[in-house]
Amino acid sequence: MNIGLGGGAASSMASGQSSEDLDFASVQRENPEMERRCQEVIDRCWQLGDTNPIQFIHDVGAGGLSNAFPELVNDGNRGGAFNLRNVPSDEPGMSPLEIWCNESQERYVLSVAPENLQQFADICARERAPFAVVGEATEEMHLTLADSHFNNKPIDLPLEVLLGKAPKMSRDVVTAKAVSPALDQTKIELTEAVKRVLTLPTVADKTFLITIGDRSVTGLVNRDQMVGAGRYL
């Protein structure tokens, strides 16, 4: 559904100040029934042990599918080719951006080998959990999103660009030699210099950090930390 595109804008509003449109754009509109169905499918799969049809799984949260699908294939050292119109949607009027980026809860993206797809489909049918085959992993680390409705590719770029691996930068470094005159100590008065050094916080006595303020602040201190024999700070 068309939800979550407003980010945290709605949740940061004071009570009674939010608008209906902003409320529906907010995140975390949960669906407990669907969440339970998804969890049952996941439980039935991992309980199969070595024959678990799920190869890789990723939750869908902030950023929606635009975040989940690239991370899923990238974690498996693969790229991905996806079809936007294969994504189940209850709102047919949503734009490609809204389908790709909405934060509908209780969704997972996962990888299933073709030979195990029927087994996975049977488990989903038993638990009444809808699913769709949206795309496939590719050897090339490239992300492609095809939109059959508009007959175009709204996303077609290398994964390293999407995930923040910018092109390498070339730097020309030259080391410059610092030239400074020798320290003139003839005008330094020893008594004054010692006094100035000992007044520095990094050199001076740190007791003032304790005595500078109320030592029993908050009223929860049952004994002053400077009370008692042999207590030196």
Domain that holds residue 207: 190-219
**Weakly modelled stretches of the chain, pLDDT under 70:** 6-29, 165-167, 206-233
Q: How far, in Å, CA of 229 to CA of 207, rounded?
A: 16
Does residue 158 share a domain with residue 51?
yes
Residue type (1 letter), 66: S
C-alpha angle 112-140-149 in degrees, rounded to nearest 5:
70
Choose among 89, 92, 72, 94: nearest CA to 81.
72
Q: What is the pLDDT of residue 16?
A: 58
Does residue 55 share a domain with residue 95?
yes
Model pLDDT for residues 131-189, shown as the tens digit of each residue: 999 999 989 999 999 998 899 999 998 888 888 766 677 888 899 888 888 888 888 89
Domain finish residue from 142, 162, 182:
162
Q: What is the pLDDT of residue 221?
A: 58
Does residue 113 share a domain with residue 67?
yes
Does residue 137 share a domain with residue 196?
no
Does residue 143 share a domain with residue 90?
yes
- 214 domain residue, yes or no: yes
Number of domains in the chain: 2
- 93 domain residue, yes or no: yes
CA-CA distances (angstroms) from residue 206 to 150, 193, 225, 230? 71, 20, 15, 17
Q: What is the pLDDT of residue 232?
A: 47
- 3 domain residue, yes or no: no
HEC per residue, the chain: CCCCCCCCCCCCCCCCCCCHHHHHCCCCCCCHHHHHHHHHHHHHHHCCHHHCCEEEEEECCCCCHHHHHHHHHHHCCCEEEEEHHHCCCCCCCCCHHHHHHCCCCCCEEEEECHHHHHHHHHHHHHHCCCCCCCEEEECCCEEEEEECCCCEEEEEEEHHHHCCCCCCCCCCCCCCCCCCCCCCCCCCCHHHHHHHHHCCCCCCCCCHHHHCCCCCHHHCCCCCCCCCCCCCC
Does residue 195 share a domain with residue 126?
no
Q: What is the pLDDT of residue 129?
A: 92
Domain finish residue from 145, 162, 179:
162
Does residue 145 share a domain with residue 62?
yes
- 180 domain residue, yes or no: no
Answer for the pair 146, 81: CB distance below 8 angstroms, yes or no: yes
Q: How far, in Å, CA of 104 to CA of 89, rounded?
A: 10
In angstroms, how far is CA 192 from the centroid of its own chain?
55
- 167 domain residue, yes or no: no
**Two structure tokens written together for 211:** 């005595």
- 19 domain residue, yes or no: no
Q: What is the CATH number of the domain that holds 141?
A: 3.90.650.10
